[in-house]
Amino acid sequence: MNYDQLLAPAAKAMRPSGIRKFFDLAAEMPHCISLGVGEPDFKTPWAIRDAGIRSLEQGRTRYTANAGLAELRAEICRYLARRFELDYQPDQVVVTVGGSEAIDLTIRALVAPGDEVIIPEPCFVCYAPITQLTGGVPVPVVTRAEDEFRLTPEALKAAITPRTKLLVLPYPNNPTGGVMGQADLEAIAAVLRDTNVMVLSDEIYAELTYGLDRHVSIASLPGMAERTVVVNGFSKAYAMTGWRLGYAAGPKPLIKVLTKIHQSCIMSAPTTSQYAAITALRSCDEAIETMRDEYNRRRRYVVKALNEMGLACFEPRGAFYVFPSIQISGLSSEEFCEKLLYQKEVAIVPGDAFGACGEGYARISYAYSVDHLQTAMARMRDFLRENGWT
């Protein structure tokens, strides 16, 4: 069988993650300190696990309604109103298998072959491949350290063409930790209001914002709810990555179509996870705050340590990543990370894995204990010194 000829060209063309072999290598080093993960180190709070366990004991093991349990969708709406001043009705919400599926559904529902999708980079690597798989054209837009990796209205305007269908707005951002404040979003909204460009606002890190200002969703700005699909979920805020639960909220006609696709491909999101999520939304606001405070302490620690050792980074106000510049070494991101791995057994992710403009940077996750971070920072300090860069 000639599989190469049989496979669909779009599927073949999907770029696999270039980082896989790097981390396979790191996994084989017994004393390797990894700073590469993209999920919380916390376990799901017990109350949530307990709710999931109880639902299994009660035999709640069948499909739910396609769009998700009515009770869950109602709680999601209450949550979005309470935390982000968003006003959605339960029929404007579809519960999905992680925020990932919500992203996939949104792109597949909106992007026709040839449609352009604007993607600010550096960013999470799924948007471009999904766009390509759908026959769309990813249009990367550079964001810069000077702007704290925010999408500027100028860059957005320059990227919009008559074929632009969708803007992906992934903030708080993976890998940079950048956030868009009220004013920044206003500037973007001002550019979009005169167009037919839709927005996919990936807000999975919305609860992890630091500093005085809480996360603002672009959908809460005037004239934006009708052109935005908000994607969020339970993975990062409640440490429920493995439960695979997220949701999309948006205009009813869009959510209907997302639900239609979801119905055919997935049927319904995991039932156990849905019951657990109801408890999460009802009783775990405090748990979020506790985890967030802990991330915050680590964030401050890591940012200071990196800046002091010569790896300049702005202060990220979201997610749990730091995106320092590795340019004092004069090496490429990949070379730097490889050398660091071999010489000091510390694994960090080269910035260009997240987009061409990530070259010269590296992503460091602080979803680790302070002890772990301390050791890693010490090794990195030695690494820079021993190579004569500080």
Partner 1 sequence: MEQLLRILETNARLPLEDIAVMLDTTPEAVAKMLDEAAAKGYIHGYSALIDWERAGVNVVEAVIELHVSPRKSRGFDEVASAIAAFDEVDSVLLMSGSYDLQVIIKGHSFQEIALFVAKRLSPLDDVLSTATSFVLRTYKRGGRLFQAEEIDERECTVL
Residues 174-213 that bind partner 1 (CB under 8 A): 174-175
Q: Which is nearer to partner 1, 124 or 361 (CB)?
A: 124
- CA separation for the pair 312, 303 (Å, rounded): 9
- Does 23 engage in binding with partner 1 (CB under 8 A)? yes
Sign for the pseudo-dihedral over CA of 346, 350, 354, 358:
positive
- Does 300 engage in binding with partner 1 (CB under 8 A)? yes
Phi/psi for 112 (5° steps) reads: -95, 160
Choices 12-20, 225-233, 271-279, 338-346; region in contact with partner 1 by CB under 8 A: 12-20
- Does 19 engage in binding with partner 1 (CB under 8 A)? yes
Coil/strand/helix, residue 284: coil
Phi/psi for 121 (5° steps) reads: -120, 160
- DSSP 8-state code for residue 267: S
Binding to partner 1 by CB under 8 A, coded x per residue (else -) over 328-347, reads -------------------x
> What is the smallest separation between the CB atom of 242 and partner 1, expressed in angstroms?
10
- Does 349 engage in binding with partner 1 (CB under 8 A)? yes
Total of chain residues touching partner 1, rule CB under 8 A: 28
- Does 389 engage in binding with partner 1 (CB under 8 A)? no
Residues 238-297 that bind partner 1 (CB under 8 A): 297
Which residue, 214, 174, 201, 184, is CA-closest to 322? Answer: 174
> What is the smallest separation between the CB atom of 22 and partner 1, expressed in angstroms?
8
Residues 368-387 that bind partner 1 (CB under 8 A): 370-371, 374
> Which residue from 354, 361, 366, 383 is in contact with partner 1, where contact means CB under 8 A?
354
CB 316 within 8 A of CB 342: no
- Residue 200 CA: distances (Å) to CA of 13, 22, 94, 268, 350: 24, 31, 14, 22, 26
Rg (CA), the chain: 21
> Which residue from 86, 97, 125, 340 is in contact with partner 1, where contact means CB under 8 A?
125
Say which residue the tokens 């005037």 belong to: 222
- CA separation for the pair 374, 380 (Å, rounded): 10
Coil/strand/helix, residue 96: strand
Q: Which is nearer to partner 1, 20 or 62 (CB)?
A: 20
> Which residue from 38, 129, 153, 181 is in contact with partner 1, where contact means CB under 8 A?
38
Q: State how beta strands 321-322 and 346-347 pair.
A: unpaired
Residues that bind partner 1 (CB under 8 A): 17, 19-20, 23, 26, 34, 36-39, 41, 124-125, 174-175, 297-298, 300-301, 304-305, 347, 349, 353-354, 370-371, 374
